[in-house]
């Protein structure tokens, strides 16, 4: 049912955890729908220096989260924002039709984290003005 890549990321997920002093945090999904992702990012010079996740969800959701963090790490914010919803699934060697929303969720989650970061940045600027 799942590609080997999915199963590999599911069984050995990269970047699990929290970042205590994260620059941005994104939460998407809802437990009642069966999946929730929290993504934490640390940004340095416009680059995703560190990223961690916690996910409640199926194997595809966990693998998508893990893959997303790998894809994002070391990239610039602009580059990460260009990652489309399907890219995560493609990197994972495809996902079953019914699970495509997990790929979407992962890209939504990192976007939410970046938005959170950007908003905090603009607040900081506001505050420093």
Partner 1 sequence: MKRIYMDHSATTPTDPLVVEAMLPYFTEKFGNASSLHFFGQEAAEALEQSRKQVAYLIGARPEEIIFTSGGTESDNLAIKGIAYQNSGKGKHIITSVIEHPAVLNTCAHLEKDGFEVTYVPVDSDGILDVAELENAIRDDTILITVMHANNEIGTIQPITEISKISKEKGIYFHTDAVQSVGKIPVDVNELGVDLLSISSHKIHGPKGVGALYIKKGTLIQAIAHGGEHEARLRAGTENIPGIVGFAKATTLAKERLAVDSKHLTELRDLLIKKVLDSIGHSYLNGHPTKRLPNNANLRFSFIEGEAMLLSLDMKGIAVSTASACSSRSLEPSHVLKAIGLRPEDAHGSLRFSLGKDNTREEVDYVVESLAEVVRKLRDMSPLV
- Which sequence positions are flagged as catalytic? 33, 102
Taking alpha carbons only, the member of 4, 5, 60, 49 closest to residue 24 is 49
For partner 1, the closer CB: 65 or 107: 65
- Position 59 contacts partner 1 (CB under 8 A): yes
Length of the chain equals 129
Q: Which of 69, 47, 15 is nearest to 117 (CA)?
A: 47
Place of tokens 């990269």: 14
Asked if residue 4 binds partner 1 (CB under 8 A), the reply is no
CB 87 within 8 Å of CB 107: yes
Q: What is the DSSP string of 6-19?
A: HHHHHHS-SSBS--
Nearer to partner 1, 33 or 46 (CB): 33
Q: Please name the helix (run of DSSP H) or strand (run of DSSP E) that holds residue 37, with its range, or none.
A: strand 35-44
| Residue closer to partner 1 (CB basis): 5 or 75 | 5
Is residue 37 within 8 A of residue 28, CB to CB? The reply is: yes
Query: Closest approach of Cβ 89 to partner 1, in Å?
Result: 16
Exactly one of 76, 84, 90, 98 binds partner 1 (CB under 8 A); that residue is: 98
Window contacting partner 1 (CB under 8 A); options: 30-38, 43-51, 73-81, 111-119: 30-38
Query: Which residue from 3, 5, 14, 16 is in contact with partner 1, where contact means CB under 8 A?
Result: 16
The binding site for partner 1 (CB under 8 A) comprises 1-2, 7, 10-11, 13, 16, 27, 31-38, 54-59, 61-62, 98, 101
């Amino acid at each position: 049912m799942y590609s080997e890549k999915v199963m590999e990321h599911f069984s050995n997920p990269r970047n699990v955890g929290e970042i205590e002093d994260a620059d941005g945090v994104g939460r998407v999904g809802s437990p009642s729908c069966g999946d929730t992702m929290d993504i934490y990012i640390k940004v340095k010079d416009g680059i995703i220096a560190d990223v961690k996740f916690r996910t409640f969800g199926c194997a595809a959701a966990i693998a998508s989260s893990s893959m997303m963090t790998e894809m994002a790490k070391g990239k610039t914010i602009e580059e990460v924002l260009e990652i489309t919803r399907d890219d995560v699934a493609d990197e994972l060697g495809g996902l079953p039709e019914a699970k495509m929303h997990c790929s979407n969720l992962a890209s939504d989650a990192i976007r939410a984290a970046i938005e959170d970061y950007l908003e905090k940045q603009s607040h900081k600027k506001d505050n420093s003005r």
